[in-house]
Structure 1
């Protein structure tokens, strides 16, 4: 079935400013466009959600984030409804290339009102979970292989130094 993105999720905003995080230390992660910023003593979301970078560098970047966490104001919460599996939705949104909806010359922005119209193939929830699980496993395998490559690279460099000395 073909639906629009806005049919399977809602948006929510964050008003947290990164500068206001000083003095807040705790166990709840807070994220920005580049990933984890720090751990604070509060959270805004009790369930896993999708975050979209809506302002500045990296607009349109999509990431799935855990329960009991928050994002700063340059990001937007995307909350999936019961019709869609969160893993399926995050991979679908990554494929959509939301950055194409940007506006603004100095600081680029994207708005949910624009990208909520993006078409989405929506199979049965059971099929969505299967597809999301497969893609998640592939992503984990790629991360593992990248770690392996990094370790092999370190090994080659250390063997070179061992054989020829440190230049």
Structure 2
């Protein structure tokens, strides 16, 4: 790779902070345009301030220290930005997207002020220094990393579409079939809860599942931590999640649930439980969608214990709660369809795990100059992940 040169951020980027404008939530009118804050889109409004590709860099918030979400990200198209994110564009010396990669990797702790609420002021931002390769090299890196990001985005859309189809098929079976059947949940599934403590977390190893990983039908393992093998043995003595178990949250995030994917070694995190089908009356995927269906979500709302700090499902009572299934013929025909859709979800998510690992391995080496890019690199990356 060509020689790297050091620059101030102000030498390679134009700041557009003067065009930002916050809108109080009570004054926002719903619309099509993303309304950005420090960590991404927080609303959609009926107007826009910017049109094009820009780099947004968080100005304040604890995330500047914790980095739980990206502090530097691209906003493309027409959008609005409040006063909690700096708005930048690369000039002829720097690709806007490449600057996003650089700022996301940099340690900005020395540029932050504020003991309780971290803040990256405009003057502090202007003092940030880093090294850049020539613009053509930046563009090659952006092309390669963009190929990975685009494939990951496609996989996310596959997950969303498969979930929408699964929900639609389940709802259709409830409407078009015969008389729905009603059961006590405990007649269909064994119920387990996880440990009431947190082990020491590690960078790698089996997953320590977090309720943050649970969505309404899918499991995002990137939001769960890891633990070592010895802790895994101790934490799975009572129960270990298995493929097809329905994972759910019984405190705080009530109503969310997902299937445990095959081939994943994990233990239950705090506030998480398992529904394990024990009857030929229901498959894992049908049980999941019965749990997510509006009828059972209403049962949760009515029967949950609403505490001063958190809401919870009383596990001692959960087995008696009524859950509704389609009629027997509809359930039998629905099960393989839902299973296939969830297999597509698992495949897309596994690909994204591999893509994330590949991206994390490539980007630092590309930016440091340790790794060179061939002209066909983007094509090879795309082909490697096309099924």
* Fold shared by both chains (TM-score > 0.5): yes
Instruction: Return closer, same or farther for 1:151/1:109 CA change in 2, 3 Å cut-off.
Output: closer
* Cα distance in 2 for residues equivalent to 1:85 and 1:26: 30
TM-score, length basis structure 2: 0.37
Name the SS for the 1:59 alignment partner. helix
Q: Is the 8 A contact 2:55 2:97 kept in 1?
A: no
* Cα distance in 2 for residues equivalent to 1:84 and 1:154: 48
How much does 1:8 deviate? Answer: 0.7
Q: Deviations over 1:57-113 (max 9, x none)?
A: 323711111121122111111122222112211101111133441111233211232
User: Which shows bigger deviation, 64-73 or 9-18?
Assistant: 9-18
TM-score, length basis structure 1: 0.78
* Cα distance in 2 for residues equivalent to 1:106 and 1:2: 32
Name the SS for the 1:31 alignment partner. strand
Are 1:97 and 2:107 counterparts? yes
* Cα distance in 2 for residues equivalent to 1:94 and 1:125: 19
* Cα distance in 2 for residues equivalent to 1:140 and 1:15: 30
Q: Is the 8 A contact 2:35 2:44 kept in 1?
A: yes
Q: Structure 1 stretches of 5 or more lacking a match?
A: none
Counting only pairs closer than 5 Å after superposition, residues 6-17 of structure 1 correspond to structure 2 as 6-13=10-17, 14-17=20-23
| Structure 2 counterpart of 1:38, from 6, 20, 43 | 43
| Structure 1 counterpart of 2:55, from 31, 34, 50 | 50
Counting only pairs closer than 5 Å after superposition, residues 1-167 of structure 1 correspond to structure 2 as 1-13=5-17, 14-22=20-28, 24-59=29-64, 61-140=71-150, 144=155, 150=219, 156-157=244-245, 158=259, 161-162=276-277, 164=278
Structure with more contact order per residue of length (Cα contacts < 8 Å, sep ≥ 6): 1
Name the SS for the 2:49 alignment partner. coil
Instruction: Return closer, same or farther for 1:130/1:20 CA change in 2, 3 Å cut-off.
Output: farther
Q: Is the 8 A contact 2:50 2:79 kept in 1?
A: yes
Instruction: Return closer, same or farther for 1:142/1:25 CA change in 2, 3 Å cut-off.
Output: closer
Q: Is the 8 A contact 1:55 1:107 kept in 2?
A: yes
Q: Is the 8 A contact 1:29 1:38 kept in 2?
A: yes
Instruction: Return closer, same or farther for 1:21/1:31 CA change in 2, 3 Å cut-off.
Output: farther
RMSD of aligned residue pairs (Cα, Å): 3.2
* Cα distance in 2 for residues equivalent to 1:154 and 1:21: 48
Q: How many residues align?
A: 164
Q: Is the 8 A contact 2:112 2:124 kept in 1?
A: no
How much does 1:20 deviate? Answer: 5.0
